[in-house]
Amino acid sequence: MAEQSRVDEYWMNRALELAAQAAAKGEVPVGAVVVLEGREIGAGFNAPISGCDPTAHAEIRALRDAAARVGNYRLSGATLYVTLEPCTMCVGAIVHGRISRLVYGAAEPKAGAIESARRTLEEPHLNWDVTAVGGVLSDQCSRVISEFFSRRRAEIRRLRKQPSGKE
Protein backbone atom coordinates (compact mmCIF):
# COMPACT_ATOMS: atom_id res chain seq x y z
CA MET A 1 0.00 0.00 0.00
CA ALA A 2 2.84 2.40 0.80
CA GLU A 3 4.32 1.72 -2.64
CA GLN A 4 1.00 2.59 -4.33
CA SER A 5 0.83 5.83 -2.30
CA ARG A 6 4.31 6.81 -3.52
CA VAL A 7 3.32 6.04 -7.11
CA ASP A 8 0.10 8.04 -6.74
CA GLU A 9 1.99 11.01 -5.30
CA TYR A 10 4.55 10.86 -8.12
CA TRP A 11 1.86 11.07 -10.80
CA MET A 12 -0.16 13.66 -8.88
CA ASN A 13 2.95 15.86 -8.86
CA ARG A 14 3.03 15.48 -12.65
CA ALA A 15 -0.63 16.56 -12.75
CA LEU A 16 0.27 19.58 -10.59
CA GLU A 17 2.93 20.54 -13.17
CA LEU A 18 0.21 20.48 -15.82
CA ALA A 19 -2.07 22.56 -13.59
CA ALA A 20 0.67 25.20 -13.45
CA GLN A 21 0.59 25.34 -17.26
CA ALA A 22 -3.14 26.04 -17.13
CA ALA A 23 -2.61 28.82 -14.58
CA ALA A 24 0.08 30.39 -16.76
CA LYS A 25 -2.54 30.70 -19.52
CA GLY A 26 -5.13 32.22 -17.17
CA GLU A 27 -7.13 28.99 -16.96
CA VAL A 28 -8.37 27.41 -13.75
CA PRO A 29 -5.32 25.35 -12.71
CA VAL A 30 -6.34 21.74 -13.14
CA GLY A 31 -4.01 19.14 -14.59
CA ALA A 32 -4.51 15.50 -15.52
CA VAL A 33 -2.35 12.61 -16.64
CA VAL A 34 -3.26 9.12 -17.88
CA VAL A 35 -0.89 6.33 -16.87
CA LEU A 36 -0.80 2.79 -18.23
CA GLU A 37 1.67 0.15 -17.11
CA GLY A 38 3.78 2.73 -15.29
CA ARG A 39 4.14 5.20 -18.13
CA GLU A 40 2.40 8.40 -19.13
CA ILE A 41 0.21 7.91 -22.20
CA GLY A 42 -1.79 11.14 -22.04
CA ALA A 43 -1.70 14.56 -20.44
CA GLY A 44 -3.86 17.64 -20.33
CA PHE A 45 -4.67 20.81 -18.48
CA ASN A 46 -7.73 23.04 -18.40
CA ALA A 47 -8.19 25.11 -21.57
CA PRO A 48 -11.88 25.96 -22.02
CA ILE A 49 -11.23 29.72 -22.12
CA SER A 50 -8.21 29.75 -24.43
CA GLY A 51 -9.69 27.00 -26.59
CA CYS A 52 -13.23 28.43 -26.67
CA ASP A 53 -14.31 24.89 -25.81
CA PRO A 54 -16.53 24.12 -22.81
CA THR A 55 -15.39 20.47 -22.94
CA ALA A 56 -11.68 21.28 -22.71
CA HIS A 57 -11.32 20.18 -19.10
CA ALA A 58 -7.99 18.68 -18.08
CA GLU A 59 -9.46 15.17 -17.84
CA ILE A 60 -11.06 15.28 -21.29
CA ARG A 61 -7.87 16.60 -22.88
CA ALA A 62 -5.77 13.92 -21.15
CA LEU A 63 -8.19 11.18 -22.27
CA ARG A 64 -8.14 12.47 -25.86
CA ASP A 65 -4.35 12.56 -25.82
CA ALA A 66 -4.10 9.05 -24.40
CA ALA A 67 -6.62 7.58 -26.85
CA ALA A 68 -4.80 9.15 -29.80
CA ARG A 69 -1.43 7.86 -28.60
CA VAL A 70 -2.60 4.27 -28.09
CA GLY A 71 -4.94 4.27 -31.08
CA ASN A 72 -7.99 3.22 -29.10
CA TYR A 73 -10.70 5.18 -27.29
CA ARG A 74 -10.89 2.46 -24.66
CA LEU A 75 -8.17 2.80 -22.06
CA SER A 76 -8.80 -0.30 -19.93
CA GLY A 77 -6.21 -0.78 -17.22
CA ALA A 78 -5.22 2.90 -17.20
CA THR A 79 -5.24 5.27 -14.23
CA LEU A 80 -6.28 8.90 -14.56
CA TYR A 81 -4.66 11.32 -12.12
CA VAL A 82 -6.30 14.74 -11.78
CA THR A 83 -5.71 17.56 -9.33
CA LEU A 84 -9.41 18.31 -8.75
CA GLU A 85 -12.41 16.03 -8.27
CA PRO A 86 -14.01 15.56 -11.70
CA CYS A 87 -17.35 17.05 -12.72
CA THR A 88 -20.24 15.04 -14.15
CA MET A 89 -19.12 15.56 -17.76
CA CYS A 90 -15.64 14.29 -16.99
CA VAL A 91 -16.93 11.30 -15.04
CA GLY A 92 -18.97 10.35 -18.10
CA ALA A 93 -15.86 10.53 -20.27
CA ILE A 94 -13.89 8.49 -17.72
CA VAL A 95 -16.52 5.75 -17.83
CA HIS A 96 -16.79 5.80 -21.64
CA GLY A 97 -12.99 5.72 -21.90
CA ARG A 98 -12.94 2.63 -19.68
CA ILE A 99 -10.49 4.12 -17.20
CA SER A 100 -9.93 1.52 -14.49
CA ARG A 101 -8.73 3.78 -11.71
CA LEU A 102 -9.26 7.46 -10.93
CA VAL A 103 -7.02 9.29 -8.48
CA TYR A 104 -7.78 12.91 -7.64
CA GLY A 105 -6.38 15.51 -5.29
CA ALA A 106 -8.74 18.19 -4.00
CA ALA A 107 -12.46 17.73 -3.47
CA GLU A 108 -14.74 20.05 -5.47
CA PRO A 109 -17.67 20.91 -3.19
CA LYS A 110 -19.76 22.67 -5.85
CA ALA A 111 -19.44 20.38 -8.87
CA GLY A 112 -17.51 17.30 -7.78
CA ALA A 113 -19.22 14.20 -9.13
CA ILE A 114 -17.33 11.51 -7.21
CA GLU A 115 -18.11 12.33 -3.58
CA SER A 116 -18.88 16.02 -3.09
CA ALA A 117 -21.95 17.24 -5.00
CA ARG A 118 -22.95 13.80 -6.29
CA ARG A 119 -21.72 10.21 -6.49
CA THR A 120 -21.94 9.53 -10.19
CA LEU A 121 -19.74 6.41 -10.20
CA GLU A 122 -22.28 4.74 -7.92
CA GLU A 123 -25.10 5.08 -10.47
CA PRO A 124 -26.46 1.55 -11.08
CA HIS A 125 -26.92 2.02 -14.84
CA LEU A 126 -23.20 2.55 -15.56
CA ASN A 127 -21.64 -0.23 -17.59
CA TRP A 128 -18.09 0.19 -16.30
CA ASP A 129 -16.62 0.14 -12.80
CA VAL A 130 -14.02 2.74 -11.91
CA THR A 131 -12.10 2.57 -8.66
CA ALA A 132 -11.77 6.09 -7.25
CA VAL A 133 -9.26 7.37 -4.71
CA GLY A 134 -9.49 10.95 -3.50
CA GLY A 135 -7.32 13.19 -1.38
CA VAL A 136 -3.90 12.44 -2.89
CA LEU A 137 -1.76 15.54 -2.24
CA SER A 138 -5.03 17.31 -1.46
CA ASP A 139 -3.36 20.17 0.42
CA GLN A 140 -1.11 21.03 -2.53
CA CYS A 141 -3.94 20.63 -5.04
CA SER A 142 -6.29 22.79 -2.96
CA ARG A 143 -3.63 25.44 -2.47
CA VAL A 144 -3.06 25.79 -6.23
CA ILE A 145 -6.78 26.42 -6.80
CA SER A 146 -7.16 28.75 -3.79
CA GLU A 147 -4.15 30.85 -4.72
CA PHE A 148 -5.36 31.15 -8.33
CA PHE A 149 -8.78 32.44 -7.31
CA SER A 150 -7.28 34.71 -4.65
CA ARG A 151 -5.05 36.32 -7.31
CA ARG A 152 -8.01 36.60 -9.67
CA ARG A 153 -10.15 38.34 -7.03
CA ALA A 154 -7.29 40.73 -6.20
CA GLU A 155 -6.90 41.59 -9.88
CA ILE A 156 -10.64 42.28 -10.21
CA ARG A 157 -10.51 44.59 -7.15
CA ARG A 158 -7.49 46.38 -8.60
CA LEU A 159 -9.25 46.93 -11.92
CA ARG A 160 -12.37 48.28 -10.21
CA LYS A 161 -10.30 50.90 -8.38
CA GLN A 162 -8.69 52.23 -11.56
CA PRO A 163 -10.20 55.39 -13.00
CA SER A 164 -12.14 54.63 -16.16
CA GLY A 165 -11.11 57.79 -17.97
CA LYS A 166 -14.74 58.47 -18.89
CA GLU A 167 -16.40 61.67 -17.79
What span, in angstroms and rounded, lies between the C-alpha atoms of 51 and 143? 25
Cα–Cα distance measured from residue 155 to residue 91, given in angstroms and rounded to the nearest whole number: 32
Residue 48 CB neighbour total at 10 angstroms: 17
Which residues make Cβ contacts (< 8 Å) with residue 95, sequence separation at least 6?
121, 126, 127, 128, 130
Active-site residue, selected from the candidate residues 27, 59, 108, 115: 59
59 is catalytic: yes
State how far the Cα of 44 lies from the Cα of 31, in Å rounded to an integer. 6
What is the torsion angle, in degrees rounded to the nearest 10, for the CA atoms of residue 104, residue 105, residue 106 and residue 111?
Answer: -10
Reference 102, options 133, 136, 137, 138; nearest CA is 133
Contacts of 91 (CB under 8 A, 6+ apart): 113, 114, 120, 121
Q: Which residues are catalytically annotated? A: 59
